[in-house]
Amino acid sequence: NAGVTQTPKFRVLKTGQSMTLLCAQDMNHEYMYWYRQDPGMGLRLIHYSVGEGTTAKGEVPDGYNVSRLKKQNFLLGLESAAPSQTSVYFCASRETGRGHSPLHFGNGTRLTVT
């Protein structure tokens, strides 16, 4: 049981390049989330999904797209990377709520855009 796995762990992009970050969970969770974390800041929600085939915007969605074609995977795409997107990206998942449902996080993807 691996929990939440993020790939890649590190990536360097040039401005204007595109890439996709992959998040995979093996806990059969319905809800999945993408957050970004910048130095001195807390976690900011980019997009989230409440089930296969659904996505929704979080606090800072601009410049990102997401897809949830399979329940276990949540993809975060950058179509045209900008230096402002240099950050650490965390994926998380949780069960649907019937009462208590904590988040399970991956270990992050460190992205640098030059």
Partner 1 sequence: DAKTTQPTSMDCAEGRAANLPCNHSTISGNEYVYWYRQIHSQGPQYIIHGLKNNETNEMASLIITEDRKSSTLILPHATLRDTAVYYCIVTQGGSEKLVFGKGTKLTVNP
Handedness of CA 114, 78, 25, 101 (dihedral sign): positive
Beta carbon of residue 13, minimum distance to partner 1 (angstroms, whole number): 19
Of residues 78 through 97, those in contact with partner 1 by CB under 8 A are 88, 90, 92, 94, 96-97
Cα diameter, the chain: 44
83 φ, ψ (degrees, to nearest 5): -55, -30
Is residue 27 a contact residue for partner 1 (CB under 8 A)? no
In this complex, which beta carbon is closest to partner 1, that of residue 9 or of residue 70? 9
Contact string 42-81 vs partner 1 (x = CB under 8 A)? xxxx--x-x-----x-xx----------------------
Alpha-carbon distance of 24 to 4, in angstroms, equals: 6
Query: How many residues touch partner 1 (CB under 8 A)?
Result: 32
**Sites of contact with partner 1 (CB under 8 A):** 4, 31, 33, 35, 40-45, 48, 50, 56, 58-59, 88, 90, 92, 94, 96-108
